[in-house]
Amino acid sequence: MALSPDLMRMLLAICLVGMALLASLFLNQRRLTIFETLAWGMLILLVPLLGPFLVILLRPGSKNSSAS
């Protein structure tokens, strides 16, 4: 079964949104200032393919003890 270009684009978009959502949820578990949260959030949004991986890999801030 050959995938049409439109279906491939849709699957890519779904993956990009999913990665950004996972990185955002990870970022919510970290203890950061408002500025740091905005900066890391902009990285997630402005660098769509690499940004979410960098946020999770670099683990900004310290772990929030109330979020387990």
Tens-digit pLDDT profile for residues 1-60 = 788 989 989 998 999 899 999 999 998 888 989 999 999 889 888 887 788 888 888 888
Q: How far is CA 43 from CA 28, 53, 63, in A?
A: 15, 10, 19
DSSP symbol at 66: T
Roughly how many angstroms between the first and final C-alpha of the chain, as a whole number? 43
- pTM of model > 0.75: no
4 belongs to a structural domain = no
Question: How many structural domains comprise the chain?
Answer: 1
Joined together, the tokens standing for residue 3 give 């995938």
Length of the chain: 68
Residue 28 lies in a domain: yes
Sign, CA dihedral 4-9-10-12, equals positive
Q: Is residue 16 part of a domain?
A: no
Residue 30 counted as domain residue: yes
**Domain that includes residue 39, residue range:** 21-60
On whether residue 67 sits in a domain, the answer given is no
Residue 59 identity (one-letter amino acid) = R
In a domain, 3, yes or no: no
What pLDDT band is residue 68 in, cutting at 50, 70 and 90? very low
**Do the domain assignments include residue 1?**
no
